Amino acid sequence: MFSQDAVASPIDPARLASALAPPGRSTLLPREAYVDPAVFAWEQAHFFSGWVCLGRGTDLAEPGSQRAVSLGTAGVLLTRAEDGVLRAFANVCRHRGHELLPCGSGARKKGIVCPYHAWSYRLDGSLLGAPGFRDVPDFDPGPLGLIELPSQEWHGWVFVDGSGRAGPFADHIGELEGIVAPYRPATLQVLASHEYEIAANWKTVVENYQECYHCSMIHPELCAVSPPDSGSNLDLDGDWVGGWMSLRDEAETMSLDGRSAGVVIEGLSETERRTVMYVALFPNLLVSLHPDYVMTHRLTPLAADRTAIECAWLFPEEAKQQAGFDPAYAVDFWDLTNRQDWAACESVQRGLSSEHARPGPLAPEEDGVQQFVAMVANGYLGQDARKTVSPAR
Ligand code: FES
Ligand SMILES: [Fe+2]
């Protein structure tokens, strides 16, 4: 799931025991997991150097598209070549290490030119030219191509393994494939997106997303369309946790009035039409599967107490074709709910910053949090997290 180097845990293993206790006896992670810059740096180097979602492939649709993003402790350069293949490279020139593009920026060109001394590369990463080397005897451009990293487009989302050692992508996804595939996300279009930056640790955001124990307290609008005590969590293969909740009988989808202004995604089962599936794919992609739209939250940790969140809403083409189609019915509902959640997460962060904070017991309704916390704790210990989540596994 992440870089499988032998490494020391960033937290004393004895202090992780209660987070790894069986359901019913487990607790939150120790508070330093949420507030200590050293733990944050460890996570960036290990969790965020394995398979991480970097956005949608459609952001790099045209041949020649290039985009540099920071990933964990390093930068990644994504390119779309003329052959349509998306590739990921370490964002580092083979000459003296200059970044090829500043992280956060993009370009559309036939090749890649380093801004320092103008070494140039093809979109497949091979070295095209190195000024001044024409007459240098035995200069061989062959081994001087950019360092390629494992990458994968999965239902339209781009994933990169920044370490190159995270193992097969199919193992990372596991049985999530069968849950996501019916919604055909590759055919859906992002028709709205919001960017948030919140003062909370990235794990607090995932933990909050993975339980509805808080819903009756802070989400009256959500409870009006989906019973907060409905549904259950799944325990299947792959580096993810998740489960489903029901829509109320009178609700078509998650919106402020329960109505959908879109269309049901073609081919969904009766169960999929009456439920919403909430999945957290480790470490940074939250996927919410509704009958008529898919919403994602993509997390980028900025510091122990800061997280950037890109929220995107994807709809079927047939919805977009409807005269006057407006995604606001889904966007307004979740923007309101997101803000309720961010306020709670920021308050948790302020609370955990107190030296008096102690990891409290997780309630039965927080089994999704227990699964995620165990995944993180196992990750700190360098173990393949999902294997020890459930004794039945
Ligand atoms: S560092 Fe890139 S050309 Fe010199
Ligand atoms: Fe919530």
**Residue 202: which CATH number?**
3.90.380.10
174: CA distance to ligand 2 center in Å?
A: 26
Same domain, 149 and 200: no
Same domain, 333 and 207: yes
Sheet of 74-80: strands edge to edge? Answer: 106-108, 65-71, 74-80, 86-90, 148-149
Is the CB of residue 373 less than 8 Å from the CB of residue 33? no
Residue 3 domain flag: no
Which residue do the tokens 């325990």 mark? 235
Q: Is residue 237 predicted with pLDDT exceeding 60?
A: yes
Same domain, 214 and 296: yes
282: CA distance to ligand 2 center in Å?
A: 19
54: CA distance to ligand 1 center in Å?
A: 26
Measured from CB, residues less than 6 Å from any atom of ligand 1 are 93, 95-98, 114, 116-119
Same domain, 149 and 191: no
Residue type, 332: D
Single pTM value for the model: 0.95
**Which domain does 89 fall in, by range?**
51-161
Ligand 1 pocket test, candidate residues 89, 91, 94, 95, most atoms within 8 A of CB = 95
**279-297 residues labelled b (16+ CB within 10 A) or e (exposed):** bbbbbbbbbbbbbbbbbbb
**Cα 270 to Cα 267: distance, rounded to the nearest angstrom:** 9
- Of the three residues 161, 188, 214, the one that is the final residue of a domain is 161
Beta strands at 240-246 and 86-90: parallel, antiparallel or unpaired = unpaired
Residue 271 domain flag: yes
pLDDT of residue 155: 98
Residue 4 domain flag: no
Residue 166 domain flag: no
Residue 293 domain flag: yes
Same domain, 366 and 232: yes
pLDDT digits (tens, 9 = 90+) for 271-296: 999 999 999 999 999 999 999 999 99
The DSSP secondary structure of 311-330, one letter per residue, reads: EEEEE-HHHHHSTT--THHH
Ligand 1 pocket test, candidate residues 114, 120, 133, 144, most atoms within 8 A of CB = 114
pLDDT digits (tens, 9 = 90+) for 127-139: 999 999 999 999 9
- Mean pLDDT across 1-9: 68
pLDDT digits (tens, 9 = 90+) for 246-274: 999 999 999 999 999 999 999 999 999 99
Same domain, 66 and 206: no
pLDDT digits (tens, 9 = 90+) for 288-327: 999 999 999 999 999 999 999 999 999 999 999 999 999 9
- Mean pLDDT across 68-95: 95
CATH number at residue 69: 2.102.10.10
- Of the three residues 161, 189, 212, the one that is the final residue of a domain is 161
What's the mean pLDDT when you consider all of the chain? 95
Is the CB of residue 382 less than 8 Å from the CB of residue 9? yes
Residue 72 domain flag: yes
Same domain, 253 and 319: yes
| Atom 3 of ligand 1: nearest residue by CA position | 117
Same domain, 133 and 202: no
Same domain, 133 and 92: yes
pLDDT of residue 5: 56
pLDDT digits (tens, 9 = 90+) for 178-228: 999 999 999 999 999 999 999 999 999 999 999 999 999 999 999 999 999
Q: Give residue 124's region: left, alpha or beta (phi > 0; psi -120 to 50).
A: alpha
- Of the three residues 161, 195, 230, the one that is the final residue of a domain is 161
Residue 232 domain flag: yes
Same domain, 37 and 76: no
**Cα 33 to Cα 87: distance, rounded to the nearest angstrom:** 33
pLDDT of residue 383: 84
Same domain, 188 and 260: yes
**Pick the residue with more confidence: 384 or 81?**
81
| Atom 4 of ligand 1: nearest residue by CA position | 117
pLDDT digits (tens, 9 = 90+) for 342-390: 999 999 999 999 999 999 999 999 999 999 999 999 999 998 655 433 3
- The number of the ligand 1 atom at minimal distance from the alpha carbon of 130 is 3
Determine how many CB atoms are found less than 10 A away from the CB of residue 142: 7
Residue 393 domain flag: no
**Cα 370 to Cα 284: distance, rounded to the nearest angstrom:** 17
User: Number of folded domains in the chain?
Assistant: 2
Same domain, 279 and 334: yes
